[in-house]
Homo-oligomer: A and B are copies of this chain.
Amino acid sequence: MVRRLWDKGEALDEAVQQFTIGNDPQLDRALIRWDCVGSAAHAQMLCSIGLLNKKECQAILDGLREAWELGVKEEFDIPFELEDGHTAIESFLVEKIGEAGKRVHAGRSRNDQIITAMRLYLRHQTLSLIEELSAWNDALSKRYDELKDVDMPGYTHLQRAMPSSFGMWLEAFDESVLDLIREGFSILDALDSNPLGAAAGFGTSLGLDRKLTAKLLGFSRVQRNPIDVQNSRGRYELRFLRWTEAVATIVEKLAWDMQLYVTEEFGFISLPNELTTGSSIMPQKRNPDVLELLRGRAARVRGAASELAWVTAKMPSNYHRDFQYTKEPVMKAVGNVFESVRLMAHAVSTFTINPDALKEAMSADLYATYEAYRLVKDGKPFRDAYRETSKQVADGTLDVDALSADFAEIKTSIDIAMSEARAEQKALDAQAKDLRGKLDAVEAGVFLLKA
């Protein structure tokens, strides 16, 4: 087993070690997979410039693939005394193939090593979240077809305002999710740049071939400046987390809507039993815990983003050990946001509607604006139409049936929106599928020794 990388023989106080290592061994389990991929590319490149011979390189690649397989299953063990995943992988290699295992570290610092692993991790998670969002949209779209003609009141200020429908409401979230997916692709573009080779932030004098590692890792660009590579530690993480915050905010908004709709007072929808729990003290109750926890999860994601901002902001250039703490909030956000999107898709798919309550809620005054618009079409200035309609509402003389056709027209426009949204979704899905194929090929290919 190798010693800690920086060990020159001094004894170290155990409490200090506990403090400095912290929960790194747990957190790094999720990065082993990506650290192996990055290391394999680095080894191939070292071989191509003559700093590893083919035999060494082959041995290293074989060892890394073995570690990678464990990493994919998150079963690669990182003993506390090895401190972190990088050291654990090196130790693993040395055990498998002897001293040659150390040679992969040439021209690399733990700094660009972790930045590379995190970049690969973020790229993977971004694409995965895009896929998850797409599945949520499928659920919204399916429910749309079932419920699009069910009316419900539309609210402003939480007061009944105008006619709305389940179709309009579900399609709205479909559009929001599309927006999130588009933002996800812009993040993939930002992440598409190879940090490997920056070493400790000032380059190396080994003549590393950074374009080669870029190609092996599936990056379109090289992140050219080594100081910029260091300074980007946390920068892309934060951008990713701001996106997960945006995702969680849309989940939260839909969860809040549903929480209102399941109250006895609104009573528009009901949840299946598996999304509610009983009370330990009140026998009559079923509580929409899952919806509340979805709101709570958004709070957690925001807390994670806030933590990351605090860790990385207000700092001079280059590496500082504080940046060790960039990993925890990223993984916390990932853990929370995927589960949230999945559960929300389930909630969307399984709620049922309460037609009587909805019918009763569609009170005549909701149609007042339509009447005002009719008068406008007949040439009245809106302000006057508004005053006249106001009176009809007060008198109870508003003729709702006559106004239903106006609502039907609006619903038709939503139907058109839905079909346009579906077409966009389809194109984005194809783009995601392409990228997934490319990334799979990167992972499959990086452990195969290039001729």
Stretch in A122-130, A277-285, A439-447 with 4+ CB within 8 Å of B: A277-285
Q: A102 → chain B, closest Cβ, in Å? A: 5
Whose C-beta in chain B lies nearest to the C-beta of A197?
B413
Give complex CA distance A109, B238 in Å.
Answer: 36
With both chains docked as a complex, state the minimum distance between the C-beta of A183 and any C-beta of chain B, in angstroms: 7
Q: B302 and A155: CB pair below 8 A? A: no
Chain B CB within 8 A of A161 CB = yes
Interface size class of A (residues with CB under 8 A): 35 or more
Any B CB within 8 A of the CB of A401: no
CB nearest to A285 among chain B residues = B159
Q: How many copies of this chain does one complex carry? A: 4
Q: B302 contacts A390, CB within 8 Å?
A: no
Flag whether A147 is at the interface (Cβ < 8 A).
Answer: no
Contact assessment for B182 and A190 in the assembled complex, using a CB-CB cutoff below 8 Å: yes
Q: Report the nearest B residue to A413, measured CB to CB.
A: B203
Selected from B15, B108, B207, B239, the residue in CB contact (under 8 A) with A246 is B239
Task: Pick the residue among B295, B317, B329, B365 that contacts A169 (CB under 8 A).
Answer: B317
Residue of B nearest to A386 (CB): B283
B307 contacts A322, C-beta separation under 8 Å: no
Interface mask (A8-47 → B, CB under 8 Å = 1, otherwise 0):
1011110110111000000000000000000000000000
> Which among B51, B109, B164 is the interface contact of A280 at CB below 8 angstroms?
B109
For residue A313, which residue of chain B has the nearest CB?
B249
Minimum CB distance partner of A291 in chain B: B321
Centre residue among A171, A277, A393 by max chain B CB count within 10 A: A277
Does A343 touch B at the CB level, under 8 Å? Answer: yes
In Å, the complex CA distance between A389 and B19 comes to 30
Q: Which of A191-227 contact B (CB under 8 A)?
A: 199-207, 223-227
Q: List 13 A-B contacts (CB under 8 A).
A: A6-B280, A8-B278, A15-B346, A168-B227, A176-B228, A183-B186, A203-B413, A203-B414, A205-B403, A224-B420, A299-B310, A299-B314, A313-B314
Instruction: Give 4 new A-B contacts, CB below 8 A, not counting A16-B343, A303-B307.
Output: A158-B320, A164-B202, A300-B307, A306-B307
